[in-house]
Amino acid sequence: MAKEIKNQAMESIISLAKRRGFIYQGSEVYGGLSGTWDYGPLGVTLKRNIMNLWWRHFVESRDDMYGVDAAILMNQKVWKASGHVDTFVDPLCEDTVNHRRFRTDHVLKDNGIDPDGMTMEQMDAAIIENGIKSVDGNPLSSSRTFNMMFKTNVGATFDENSVSYLRPETAQGIFTNYKNVVDNFYPDLPFGIAQQGKAFRNEISPRDFVFRSREFEQMEIEYFVRPEKWEEAFDELLAETHLFLESLGLPKEAIHELDVPAEDRAHYSKKTIDIEFDYPIGKEELMGIAYRTDFDLGNIQRDSGRNMEYTIKGTNEKFIPHVIEPSFGVERALMAVLTSSYREDEVNGEKRVYLQLPEHLAPVKYAVSPLLKNKPELVAKAREVYSLLKKKHGAVMWDDNGNIGKRYRRQDEIGTPYCVVVDFDSLEDDSVTVRNRDTTEQTRIAISQL
């Protein structure tokens, strides 16, 4: 029953997201493309607000952070040196009758078995022992590894030398620019390089709305430190992460830390803390922070022949810095924001749905309406108020569609904190009615005080 209620909650959020122009299925007009999503006018603004808040929090407000924007396509040597060509794999099994493919760990999880810490062989054994079939009721094959990178060719030739990949993470674009930033800006240790951008993973079974998709955006930091100072930097960035999640309006009780055991960590990590969130789909990873040691810079120095050492100013002390990496998925943050802000209540005996978005994240801050759209004098006055707010706040919507009750309901679902209504009294006293989204209370305010 609990799972059914959670699924209903997720379906309600997905329905609202489409109905109000937040998120659409990718290529929907042609039947869609699995694992891809398009962001509508409100969704792209909410997404940008989250990314801008992250950039202000971790980059603009600090003196030790530098931003880059690296190319999506990179030399194939990058992904060989990083280990992605050999190790960026998921376990894949398939229906032996219709050959539909599934992630083996997802098959186990969907059948109530925790696959964490299991080898691929152990997962196969668990499927056999528990008599698990595919969703179509057919036997499943033994598992094999599947590399999730999208492979492509650069240029007019198609041979092994022209191979490249759509980047599966933004981190390597930071590491390949580490030396450029050091040589150009001479930063003192510790310092970080931050990047936001697209990443691509050929997921075997994308699922759960935008939580697991094939094209997504990341916000990542590689923070370079002295080897003996990594724990201090790790704890500081973990604390900053919690402050950022609080600024997203996420409830503390829905956020959990998981110290990832060694057998479940990525190949480059000596310590990883996953921040998990209570989504309607269950407790799942929201973001992670990892201690990557000197794995990446060491690999670059070995494979490229370029010196990646950092020289302490005024001394001859040289070493390859170690790295702390806080890594955020934009879509997972957005899904957490939608989840935690979704509300249902009752107003005047009718069910009301609204998004209690933090004001600084809401894609629309004010909606301005004339009480009646067929009264030119009200429309003209409302346009004056709209222009005033638009000039000051930008994120302002004009809404004269339907009666005032329907406008309120629409703006509640959008998450607009305030609705401003111009009525006949406004023509006399230059005041307006401002309705609060969360309380539905209405207050009379002078236009000059807006």
Token duo for residue 230: 């990594």
* Sheet of 89-94, strand order: 101-103, 89-94, 144-147
Per-residue confidence (pLDDT) for residue 6, from 0 to 100: 58
Q: Report helix, strand or coil for 186.
A: coil
Spatial neighbors of 260 by CB under 8 A, at least 6 apart, are 269, 272, 273, 274, 288
Beta-sheet pairing, 37-39 with 23-25: antiparallel
Spatial neighbors of 168 by CB under 8 A, at least 6 apart, are 84, 88, 148, 149, 199, 200, 201
Name the segment(s) of the chain with CATH classification 3.40.50.800. 364-449
Token duo for residue 224: 């370079």
Whole-number Cα distances in Å, 143 to 3, 137, 152, 202? 28, 17, 25, 17
At the topology level of CATH, where does 364-449 sit?
A: Rossmann fold (3.40.50)
Spatial neighbors of 373 by CB under 8 A, at least 6 apart, are 379, 400
Burial of 156 (0-12, 13-18, 19+ CB in 10 A): exposed
According to DSSP H, which parts of 159-294 are helical? 171-175, 178-185, 230-247
> d(Cα 105, Cα 91) in Å, to the nearest integer?
7
Spatial neighbors of 352 by CB under 8 A, at least 6 apart, are 344, 345, 346, 409, 412
**Do 40 and 34 touch, CB atoms closer than 8 A?**
no
Flag residues of the chain having pLDDT under 70.
1-6
Per-residue confidence (pLDDT) for residue 435, from 0 to 100: 97
pLDDT digits (tens, 9 = 90+) for 320-345: 999 999 999 999 999 999 999 999 99
Burial of 273 (0-12, 13-18, 19+ CB in 10 A): buried
> d(Cα 408, Cα 427) in Å, to the nearest integer?
22
Q: Report helix, strand or coil for 187.
A: coil
Length of the chain: 450
Name the segment(s) of the chain with CATH classification 3.30.930.10. 2-76+167-338
Whole-number Cα distances in Å, 158 to 153, 161, 168, 202, 288? 6, 8, 21, 21, 37
Per-residue confidence (pLDDT) for residue 2, from 0 to 100: 45
Decide yes or no: CATH 3.30.930.10 for domain 2-76+167-338. yes
**Do 166 and 218 touch, CB atoms closer than 8 A?**
no
